[in-house]
Structure 1
Amino acid sequence: MTKNYSIHTKLIILFVVTFFLVCVLFIVLLKIEGNTYNEEESLKQENLIKNLLISYENTSGVEIGAYLGNSGFNAVQNPNLVKAIRNNGQSLFKAGGELCTLSSLKYHSNLYFDVQCKDFDGLYEENTSDRVYNLLLIGFFSFSLLVVFMYFSVLKSLEPLKKLRRQVAEVANWEQPDFLDYQEDEVGKIAFEFQKAFKKNQELIQSRQLFLRTIMHELKTPIGKGRIISEMIKEDRQKERLIAIFLRMDSLINEFAKIENLFSKNYNLHFKPSRFSTILEEAKEHLMIDDFNKVVKVDIRYDALINVDMEIFSVILKNLIDNALKYSNNGTCELFCCKECFTIKNPGKPLAEPIEHYLEAFTREKHNQVKGMGLGLYIVSEVCKLHNFDLIYFYDDGKHCFKIFFGDKEK
């Protein structure tokens, strides 16, 4: 698997490699320049020694010093350094006699001109202020400063990306960050476009909430009137049945409102330990199935204590049972509960698509006669995530099996 590196890491690698290559390049250039300079200087000093020896008979010691000064040489004033160079320096060329000896010495990669005459003594080095070596050093330090400046400049230009990442994370947590204080660069343009998308998304959410609340409000009115009218019916059986239907419709609207608020982050889950049997009884009331025990085979092997939001999770259990009955070949299903999970099974044909397809919102089997909006499994999946439960699906022995695992995942 290819490892992905961050832009920050790539920039560090790029600048380090660039700086290293530049250092190597300048070291090679300095080495070449130094060798070339020493060769030229050695040849120059050799010719200078020959010329001085030829004219020495008519030249005094003072004139030799003046001649060397005019030729671009400076006298070495430090006596300890003079002694060290004469004792340890490498002799490249030497000529002279008893009255005067001239030599070219190499000491620590530098060339020196040594004069030891009867009436004059001195050690000289050539003035190197106009050497290419100095220009190369200036170029190296200038380029190094430029690289360092560019490195920190690029890093500074990436700082808004970190800020934008934090703000995107805040949006994911349903916060409303302020996308201001960005410059007119690439990052600023991204932040501006993201702000536009964020505002548009907020407007869509608000319009959806307004639409749903309006519908639920409008439905509440006829349901309330229906209940009042049902109270006027004299026949008790029909009266109870109609009242139960209107109560169920009112309950469905309330459930729908809770789920909408839950997914809009306007509802906080209220967790409390509840027995599975209690949750099941609540789900039965939501289902309103008269012959529940005939169509649903319940096997509670262990009445587990589950930490859930009772109102929301009972709706989830109701959705799973309702979904199992709708898609069952024989109109029945099975419900098993053990210590760490519960499972709902129903006979039916294998799914045409992977289970992930049916866990999306508004997804239903094509050409299916079963009525519905395709939200049941989507709601189950999302609420399981909010409870940190695992929703597991498998097809076994001609049966669809949905298992919700609520036990300890670290075991």
Structure 2
Amino acid sequence: MKFSSLRTKISLIFGIAVVLLAMLFALMISAQQEKHSLYNEAHERAIAHYLSLYYLKYGKIDTAYLKSQNISIITSPEEQVQIKHYFQSQGKYHNYATDTYRLKRIIIINNDHFKLMLENKNTPPFPWEALLFFGGVLAILGGLYWWIMQGLKPLTILKEKITNFSKGDLNITCKTEKKDEIAEVANEFDNAVRMIRELISSRQLFLRAMMHELKTPIAKGRIIAEMTTNPKQQEKMRNIFEKMGMLIDEFATIEKITSKHFTLRIKPYSTSNLIEAGIDLLMIDNPKDYIDTTIEEESLWSVDFELFVLVIKNLLLNGIIHGHTKKVSICAKSNFIEISNPAEPLKEPIENYYQPFHQSKNGLGLGLYIVKNIIDIHTLKLEYRHYEGVNFFTILKPPEEYQKS
């Protein structure tokens, strides 16, 4: 149970109210019993006094009066002996004594004129008034508690929908016809979701239209490249247009990632295949002149191939562009892939470079922004360190996945 939640606080308040009400009810019953006990004792003394006076005047016991007062005479000798022993053991056997014996209210009158053992059969009245008061207030509190909790139900539904929205579900609706404050919040949130949905839809439409328009001149460029008679020029133009086409596809992937509209296709891939595909994605001539690859331990990575290859490609490209020697080393072991290059240390904390289009002298554009997003999606870890003039970017497997591999 979360003590910070609104429901818990309300339940606690009502719980305290019920406990206080129960205590009040117990006090009322106790006071009523005390009142009855005092009245009963006075009544019993009055009866004993009346019987003494009546006996002095008429020489007998007024049994009719005792019957009218719901008091009976104990006539059994055996029971009289037991009661006498009990009162003597309690030190209460006097001229006049009262006590409870075996759930019976006993009155003993032991004077110079007569000896009587009486049983008072009057019982305390049932506390109907206190019970009705307690039941009525409890019913009111219960009704209020139910009414408030029913009023909070839309808040729970709204929370669930906000949670779904935060996970990327834009097809939610919170609209309600109610007029309370929670309904106002729900309706405003529904309006915000609808506007965000429309903005995302417009952005997607714009990007698709833009990429479609870009692909048309690229396709024409490829046709022109094929018509070129110079083989060297033809190959160069072909590579340029092919790279432009791949960049557009890459932008489409980035858009899906950032808008959270992407379904991961997780499968196990070997380290060597992932690195090789990342290098191929660079589309550079003679990659061995720029990249030194060392796979010390081959292992399997459970990743989305298309996205993870993009991570390796971006880290390699950043190393080549921003390094002193334009050369990059990539080293792989069973639990990590590490990309390093001689370069100046980053001027700011690495977290700043995870922002899109970070502006600085050594700005890495969208590279690290894309890398960090993809790494987070895969629940992997990206670490950066600078040591002896070399920048190191390390992709680490989660501990549980490393143990499996």
The verdict on a shared fold, with TM-score over 0.5 as the criterion, is: yes
Q: How does 1:47-196 map to 2 (within 5 A)?
A: 47=46, 49-50=48-49, 53-54=52-53, 57=57, 61=62, 64=65, 87=83, 133-175=127-169, 176-179=171-174, 183-196=178-191
Q: Does 1:256 align with 2:251?
A: yes
Structure 1: tracts of 5 or more residues without a match: 96-101
Which of residues 372, 381, 393 in structure 2 aligns to 1:390?
381
User: Any conservation in 2 of the 1:112–1:126 contact (CA below 8 Å)?
Assistant: no
| 2:308 alignment counterpart | 313
Q: How does 1:353-368 map to 2 (within 5 A)?
A: 353-360=348-355, 362-366=356-360, 368=361
Q: 1:64 corresponds to which letter in structure 2?
A: Y
| 2:338 alignment counterpart | 343
Q: 2:162 corresponds to which letter in structure 1?
A: V
Which of residues 372, 388, 397 in structure 2 aligns to 1:381?
372
Q: 2: distance between equivalents of 1:329 and 1:91?
A: 109
1:211-253 Cα offsets, whole Å, 9 max, x none, are 2112112212222233333344443322321221111111100
- Matched positions, count: 388
Q: 1: distance between equivalents of 2:161 and 2:259?
A: 19
Q: 2: distance between equivalents of 1:194 and 1:107?
A: 72
TM-score, structure 1 length as denominator?
A: 0.75
| 1:99 alignment counterpart | none
Inter-CA distance 265–135: structure 2 relative to 1 (3 Å threshold): same
- SS of 1:409 mapped into structure 2: helix
TM-score, structure 2 length as denominator?
A: 0.76
User: Any conservation in 2 of the 1:42–1:111 contact (CA below 8 Å)?
Assistant: no
List structure 1 segments (4+ residues) > 6 angstroms apart after TM superposition. 88-95, 107-118
Structure 2: tracts of 5 or more residues without a match: none
1:109 positional shift: 9.3
Inter-CA distance 150–106: structure 2 relative to 1 (3 Å threshold): farther
User: Any conservation in 2 of the 1:113–1:124 contact (CA below 8 Å)?
Assistant: yes
User: Any conservation in 2 of the 1:46–1:93 contact (CA below 8 Å)?
Assistant: no
Inter-CA distance 392–369: structure 2 relative to 1 (3 Å threshold): closer
Inter-CA distance 322–76: structure 2 relative to 1 (3 Å threshold): farther
Inter-CA distance 135–242: structure 2 relative to 1 (3 Å threshold): same
Inter-CA distance 121–301: structure 2 relative to 1 (3 Å threshold): closer
Q: 2:367 corresponds to which letter in structure 1?
A: G
- SS of 1:177 mapped into structure 2: coil
User: Any conservation in 1 of the 2:291–2:329 contact (CA below 8 Å)?
Assistant: yes
Identity of aligned residues (%): 28
1:120-142 Cα offsets, whole Å, 9 max, x none, are 9986566865x9x5433332333
Q: 2:271 corresponds to which letter in structure 1?
A: F
- SS of 1:241 mapped into structure 2: helix
1:183 positional shift: 4.5
Which of residues 288, 306, 311 in structure 2 aligns to 1:293?
288
User: Any conservation in 2 of the 1:390–1:406 contact (CA below 8 Å)?
Assistant: yes
Q: 1:165 corresponds to which letter in structure 2?
A: K
Q: 2:201 corresponds to which letter in structure 1?
A: Q
1:83-125 Cα offsets, whole Å, 9 max, x none, are 89x9589999997xxxxxx98665799978899999x998656
User: Any conservation in 2 of the 1:343–1:402 contact (CA below 8 Å)?
Assistant: yes
| 2:18 alignment counterpart | 19
1:46-93 Cα offsets, whole Å, 9 max, x none, are 345435644663799477369xx5xxx55689x99xx89x95899999
| 1:238 alignment counterpart | 233
CA RMSD of aligned residues (A): 4.2
User: Any conservation in 1 of the 2:381–2:396 contact (CA below 8 Å)?
Assistant: yes
1:250-307 Cα offsets, whole Å, 9 max, x none, are 1100121133234445443334443433333333333233353233222222344434
Inter-CA distance 113–160: structure 2 relative to 1 (3 Å threshold): farther
